[in-house]
Amino acid sequence: MTTLPPALPGVVPDVLDTLPPRLRKRVDAALDRVHEWTIEVANESARAALADDTVLTWTLHNGVLTAAGDLACTCLLAPKCLHRALAAAGAPIAEPDHAPQPEESQPVSEVEAILRPEPVQERERVAATALWRACAEILRVGVTASGAVVRGELLRAVHSARVVGLHRAAAAGIRVATGLAEAKAGSSAFDRETLATDLVEVMLLCHDLRRGTGDTDRGTARREYRPIGALRLHGLCTEAIVTTSGHAGVVTHLADSDGTLWTVQAVRPGGLERAILTADGPVALGESGLTHRELGRSGLVVSGATRSPDNRLGAGRQVRAVSATTVTWHEDPLTSLWDQPLPDQLARAHTSPDDLLFLTGTIIGPTRTALRLRLDTGTDVDLTGTTATARDNLRLLAEAPDLSLRVIARLVPDQPTTAVALAVAGDLAVSRHVDLTIDQLQRSHLRGRTPTAILTEHTPEPSPTGLLTTVVHRVVLGGRAVAALPSTARDVRTLSRIGLTATADILDDLAEQARDRERDVFGRVIADETDAFPLAWLTAAVHAREFTRATIRRSWLTP
């Protein structure tokens, strides 16, 4: 089988709308048929012969199905046939292409944007309400009962949100729709915690828009780069990126003299081999002549620089860049990054896209999955890796007890005292720092240190809000019926007994709203279209998230 051609979000509901009600009920049960199709793709078209007299054809634009009319079937029931519905319902969701935005546009300062927020327009409020209702329906019935029709309504709302400029909410909605498809297909990539996080994001955004909050982040159709002038940058490290969505590459992290962090990225479709090749490929920023691996250890002077809101550097035609001398991690201005108080670093990592930590400590020894570092503050931290190369390097470093290290790591927000190590520097037989994801350490680099025994794993106490978090995640899978189970009453009593009365009240309210179902004179449950249950779930999810983050921050500051 060849993968179904991807489709834009608005195409799926348009195709499903043509189906009569009797066929809509059969879409989910028949969706497995697409795995038996043989799809031939040639240029900007695709074809699948389903029977002697039934042929599906796609007319594609840049490899994407952009309109319902571009999907045709030769069967007698077309266009109101099940074949078109299956082709649309099973298709991956593609992001639309947008015309490039000129980088020479007049910049608007972030402070000015906050002081003069754009008021929420009525069309934005309508689109946000539709997206809220689509997500609320998922919560009511659960992922297991969210079939093609529910997913189609979500994609319709996503399309409406994107049309009126709510790009951040639309992007989160696409991730939710992708999670529903993965769950339905039984994919190993499905993660209920990730889906719950995406639902929280999109529902929070829609909730603020519905209330008319003016400073809500609408996002942008494409990444916007604004001119910032000249920069003098110092390379920090280069990180290999491999995503579950089939993209790979590298991100090079840099810092200026004020300690502001910047990134240069090169991520394209591909796997781990793409990341390794990209690391030794040229940097698409001016004409520096540097590879990404070299940029992470070099300096850079940039004129006509442009930046996105998350400090990613642009590679426009007006950008000029040349290589320059740089300093090590132990010299100014880079050493100031490690001088920042740990509480300030943790607060920044939890509240901004900049989630890097700059740690100094001594290796205690290896664990079964990583190494343990005792920070200068006295806290023991487990360092892990995201790639096989990084994990191998950490296991080798763990054999060097009492080795002092400076580390650049990324915070793991849901695990106590745990971070993903990106690069290290210390008393090693190497000239500069080691990029753990792309460099390969050798035993000779350890200067003959003696290995130590494996340390026992950390066994952190479970979060007190774990009972609430479990219910929140189970509702995503099973719907409101899960929160109405009698077991929630026992959990409420447990939370109250340990002193978490506010958490107990939130869980009790969630259970009460789940059980509050009206019935008609014949005893049949009346469909609940109110916001009481979705709001109760959202309140519980946000409370559990913030409580967990506070617990994680405390674990880092406790010796």
Task: Spell out the CATH class of 226-324.
Answer: mainly beta
For residue 440, give the amino acid letter.
Q
| Distance separating alpha carbons of residues 514 and 387, to the nearest angstrom | 42
3-class secondary structure, 85: helix
Judge whether 469 and 431 are in contact, CB under 8 Å: no
Alpha helix segments (H runs only) across 145-250: 148-163, 167-185, 192-211
Do 226-324 and 335-446 share a fold?
yes
- Taking phi over 0 as left and psi of -120 to 50 as alpha, with beta for the rest, 526 belongs to beta
**Amino acid in the structure at residue 341:** P
pLDDT of residue 368: 75
Q: Which pTM was predicted?
A: 0.81
Place of tokens 């000129």: 102
pLDDT of residue 185: 82
pLDDT for 308 equals 86
CA-to-CA dists, residue 428 to 370, 422, 425, angstroms = 18, 16, 7
Any long-range contacts for 78-83 (C-beta under 8 Å, 24+ apart)? Answer: 79/18, 80/18, 80/19, 80/20, 80/23, 81/23, 82/19, 82/23, 82/26, 82/27, 82/30, 83/50, 83/54, 83/56
Domain ranges of the chain: 11-89, 110-211, 226-324, 335-446, 466-556
Would you state the pLDDT for residue 518? Answer: 72
- Please name the residue that has the structure tokens 């994919």: 187
CB neighbours of 325 closer than 8 A, spacing ≥ 6?
Answer: 299
Whether 360 contacts 375, CB under 8 Å: yes
Look up residue 141 and give its two tokens.
Answer: 């019935």
Question: Quick one: pLDDT at residue 473?
Answer: 94
Residue type, 323: S
Q: What does the alpha-carbon distance between residue 336 and residue 305 come to, in Å, rounded to a whole number?
A: 24
Sign of CA dihedral 88, 89, 92, 94: positive
H/E stretch holding 8 reads none
Q: What is the mean pLDDT of each run of 10 residues along the chain (559 residues)?
A: 81 90 85 88 89 90 91 91 91 66 39 55 92 95 91 93 91 93 85 93 93 70 80 94 81 92 88 84 86 92 89 86 90 93 89 86 84 91 90 89 92 88 90 90 75 57 80 93 86 91 94 80 73 94 92 86
Q: Which CATH class is domain 335-446?
A: mainly beta
Paired tokens of 255: 């810092």
82 Cβ partners below 8 Å, 6+ apart?
A: 19, 23, 26, 27, 30
Which residue, among 431, 435, 439, 441, has the nearest Cα to 399 in the 3D structure?
441
Structure tokens at 48: 């699948």
Pairing relationship of beta strands 380-384 and 418-426 according to DSSP bridges: parallel
Q: What is the DSSP letter of 32?
A: G
pLDDT at 245: 65
Cβ contacts of 283 within 8 Å, gap of 6 or more: 252, 264, 266, 290, 291, 292, 295, 321
Q: Which among 375, 380, 378 is positioned nearest to 359, based on CA atoms?
A: 375
Query: Could you give the CA distance from residue 421 to residue 378 in angstroms, rounded to a whole number?
Result: 19
* Type and span of the H or E element at 13: helix 11-17
Burial classification of residue 38, based on how many CB atoms lie within 10 Å of its CB (0-12 exposed, 13-18 middle, 19 or more buried): exposed
**Contact present, 171 and 201 (Cβ < 8 Å):** no
pLDDT of 413 reads 83
The pair of three-digit structure tokens given for residue 530, joined into one six-digit string: 């109110």
- 137 three-class SS: helix
pLDDT of residue 448: 58
Q: What's phi and psi for 237, nearest 5 deg?
A: -170, 170
Of 494, 483, 490, the residue nearest 532 (C-alpha)? 483
Tell me what pLDDT residue 109 has. 44
Q: Helices H, strands E: what count in the chain?
A: 19, 15
